[in-house]
């Protein structure tokens, strides 16, 4: 058997089949989705951790005007005053500030003014101005003028009349307001302007700010009561005993130079008495006249005798060809000094007793003049064109009830001193 020299061919494998294109992309897509889901899950985990540990919070910056904002919040939210005097001061300041802003930004000034007119609330306009003023904080000319307005507002909050700046005066005004109905009633009956009546009350009570300061704190401030000035006279207007009796006598004595006319005796019920007020052994306090003046409550008789007093002075001077209708300082002086000082003439002297309120010296007549024209309590007791209503007018407009039976009127006899 012959052997061949040619080599035996090595064993060769059959060629592999290529992967299909579909399986290739399916595999890639599968792993791609898996990776995306894993990344999404990691993102969710990161967000949750960031929220829990506040990694994404923005620390921010403190506004440079933060202190200003706090100051404005305190200004309007803690006891911001809204009484009539303060409102008037704020309103004036607001208009001045709006006028200043209008020089630079008239559109913004108009918006603020419109907001005030719609709301009627001055604090709204002031808040808006505060915001505008913050924006104008670096404008030197604007800030100079704004400071001038603020300085004027501070001065305006203090009355030119020193007595009106005391705490006692504010308390006194509250008490007088409670008596306004009685004062108006007396004014309507007697024809004496209510402001003239209150003027005399002011003169008597303001003296208490110093001389009876502890009394004032004891009675007026906690209890809203006027001081019954028994150390000088009776009632809240301090009418002396003999003066009160002479006032009554002048109502009935037609021969008296102070006789005001037959009408006025009808304004007083001489039978009125208040014996329950007598709790001491003072003989004068048993007299009906003094009991009327001592009566508490609305102090009607104190105001009535005060009005009679003023009316009788006016009658005296009218008979001599003069008038006290526009001379509150003379009426106040005569009220303080009494009938004996009533001497009608062209240029009478103003004066009366001297006293101090704080470090200021006053005369009774001078203080009455200041109050009368001060504007204080003007809403309740206004100035009028006729301080004394003519008696003929009163007789036509005021009707008194007819007495049940006619009785002879007995003029009160003087009380021993």
One DSSP character per residue, 313-381 reads: HHHHHHHTT---TT-HHHHHHHHHH-GGG----SSPPP---EEEETTEEEEHHHHHHHHHHH-TTTTTS
Rounded alpha-carbon distances, angstroms, from residue 291 to 224, 239, 246, 294, 301: 22, 12, 16, 5, 10
What per-residue confidence (pLDDT) applies to 236? 84
How do residues 220-238 score in pLDDT, each as one tens digit?
444 345 545 545 678 888 8
Query: Which regions in the chain score pLDDT beneath 50?
Result: 1, 62, 79, 82-84, 212-224, 227, 230, 406, 416-417
Q: How far apart are CA 233 and CA 242, in angstroms?
A: 9
What per-residue confidence (pLDDT) applies to 193? 97
What per-residue confidence (pLDDT) applies to 224? 46
Q: How far apart are CA 347 and CA 136, in angstroms?
A: 58
What per-residue confidence (pLDDT) applies to 10? 52
What per-residue confidence (pLDDT) applies to 293? 80
Is-contact 331 313, C-beta < 8 A?
yes
What per-residue confidence (pLDDT) applies to 68? 58
How do residues 15-56 score in pLDDT, each as one tens digit?
555 557 777 777 777 777 787 888 888 888 877 777 666 666
Distance of CA 13 to the CA centre of its chain: 115
Rounded alpha-carbon distances, angstroms, from residue 102 to 94, 110, 132, 382: 12, 8, 11, 36
Return the structure tokens found at 371.
Answer: 């109050």
């Amino acid at each position: 058997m012959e052997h061949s020299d040619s080599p035996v061919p090595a064993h060769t494998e059959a060629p592999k089949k290529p992967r299909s294109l579909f399986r290739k992309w399916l595999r890639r897509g599968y792993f791609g989705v898996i990776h995306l889901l894993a990344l999404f899950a990691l993102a969710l985990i990161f967000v949750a951790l960031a929220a829990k540990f506040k990694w994404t919070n923005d620390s921010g910056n403190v506004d440079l005007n933060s202190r200003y904002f706090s100051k404005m919040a305190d200004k309007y939210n803690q006891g911001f005053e809204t009484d009539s005097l303060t409102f008037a001061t704020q309103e004036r300041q607001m208009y001045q500030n709006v006028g200043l802003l209008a020089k630079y930004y008239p559109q913004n000034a108009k918006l603020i003014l419109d907001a005030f007119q719609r709301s009627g609330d001055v604090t709204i306009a002031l808040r808006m101005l505060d915001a505008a003023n913050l924006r104008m904080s670096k404008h030197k000319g604007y800030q100079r003028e704004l400071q001038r307005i603020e300085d004027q507002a501070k001065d305006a909050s203090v009355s030119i009349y020193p007595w009106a700046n005391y705490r006692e005066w504010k308390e006194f005004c509250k008490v007088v307001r409670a008596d306004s109905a009685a004062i108006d009633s007396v004014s309507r009956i007697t024809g004496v302007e209510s402001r003239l009546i209150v003027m005399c009350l002011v003169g008597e009570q303001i003296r208490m700010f110093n001389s009876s300061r502890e009394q004032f704190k004891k009675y007026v401030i906690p209890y809203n009561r006027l001081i019954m000035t028994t150390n000088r006279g009776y009632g809240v207007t301090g009418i002396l005993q003999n003066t009160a009796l002479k006032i009554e006598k002048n109502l009935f004595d037609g021969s008296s130079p102070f006789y005001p006319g037959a009408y006025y005796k009808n304004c007083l019920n001489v039978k009125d008495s208040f014996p329950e007020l007598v709790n001491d052994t003072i003989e004068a306090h048993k007299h009906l006249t003094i009991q009327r003046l001592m009566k508490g409550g609305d102090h009607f008789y104190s105001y009535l005798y005060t009005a009679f007093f003023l009316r009788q002075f006016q009658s005296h001077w009218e008979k001599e060809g003069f008038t006290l209708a526009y001379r509150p300082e003379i009426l106040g002086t005569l009220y303080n000094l009494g009938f004996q000082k009533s001497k009608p003439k062209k240029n009478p002297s103003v004066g009366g007793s001297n006293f101090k309120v704080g470090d200021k010296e006053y005369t009774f007549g001078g203080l009455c003049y200041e109050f009368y024209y001060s504007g204080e309590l003007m809403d309740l007791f206004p100035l009028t064109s006729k301080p004394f209503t003519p008696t003929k007018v009163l007789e036509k407009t005021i009707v008194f009830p007819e007495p049940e039976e006619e009785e002879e009127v007995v003029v009160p006899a003087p009380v021993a001193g």
